[in-house]
Amino acid sequence: MSVSALDRMDLEMDLRSAISRHEFRLHYQPILRLDTGRITEVEALIRWQHAKRGLIQPDSFIGLSEETGLIVPIGRWVLTEACRQARVWQLEFPSTPPLVMSINLSATQFQSPTWWKRSARP
């Protein structure tokens, strides 16, 4: 096997393990209103805290997660966690209108008829 094929296979195995080891993290990018300087929205951005490779950016694993179908449980976790955090911030920092959370979804998620259904943990 070529080095790139072996690396991809290792990454896929690690990706499957990352789900059960809860290695994914969400980082939140604030979006400000220019006229007031206030945060009105945040965007949830997934990162993978790999045990050996360190912090992995989404462009290094999202494509593979879509190809393998792992995007469904990963996406479900992102949606659940981001909504939970948004609610915490809405209660802690009430505003009118309430804080908005933006979440990127993969088209692959919509091809799974149950991607949005809540499960225990990915």
Query: Within a domain: residue 97?
Result: yes
- Give domain status of residue 51, yes or no: yes
Q: What was the pLDDT predicted at 53?
A: 92
The phi and psi torsions of 63 (rounded to 5 degrees) equal -55, -45
Q: Considering the domain boundaries, does residue 117 fall inside one?
A: no
Is residue 69, in this structure, part of any structural domain at all? yes
Q: What is the pLDDT of residue 97?
A: 87
Q: Residue 122 pLDDT > 50, yes or no?
A: no
Q: How many Cα atoms occupy the beta-carbon half-sphere of 11 within 13 Å?
A: 20
pLDDT at 117: 66
Query: What is the reported pTM?
Result: 0.84
Whether residue 63 is contained in a domain is answered as: yes
What pLDDT digit, counting tens, does each position of 14-37 carry? 999 998 899 999 999 999 999 999
Please compute the mean of the pLDDT values over residues 45-60 and round it to a whole number: 95
Q: Is residue 120 part of a domain?
A: no
Q: Which of 105, 107, 52, 40 is nearest to 79 (CA)?
A: 105
Longest dimension (CA), the chain: 57
Q: What is the pLDDT of residues 73-113, one digit of tens each?
A: 999 999 999 999 999 999 999 988 888 999 999 888 888 77
Indicate the residue type of 7: D
C-alpha distances (whole Å) from 58 to each of 21, 32, 63, 99 are 17, 24, 8, 25
Domain around 93: 3-111
